[in-house]
Structure 1
């Protein structure tokens, strides 16, 4: 849909786009010429595109913590 609006603006059918652009950090596998990559892991994207959310860290339960601590030896005691 965004590309359609960009095309319509280029053709003069609409005077402005119903969205803006913002710079976001992107992750991608380094390529053959990664050492000369000028974008630095950034890209301009439509501000209406959803962000990819990171998964929250998982924590140990009390039982898992107790089991872990029970396996550890402290040489100072």
Structure 2
């Protein structure tokens, strides 16, 4: 008897609630397989991405600081 046949036989004996749990587990296994399939970024790639956007992030943060300071002054008033 193949594994597929064994699993099918076991599934036939399960309740609806148990089948729902099995379905959720199968969904999790598929998700985990997709996540593992993604290549991890190398440290040098991450450093390059950080460097590329660091200046832009800094400018955006500095622009937002004046609005933040104004909001704090309004709160104190």
Q: Same fold, TM exceeding 0.5?
A: no
Normalized against structure 2, the TM-score is what? Answer: 0.31
Structure of greater relative contact order (alpha carbons < 8 Å, 6+ residues apart): 1
Which of the two has greater strand per residue?
Answer: 1
Which of the two has greater helix per residue?
Answer: 2
Normalized against structure 1, the TM-score is what? Answer: 0.31
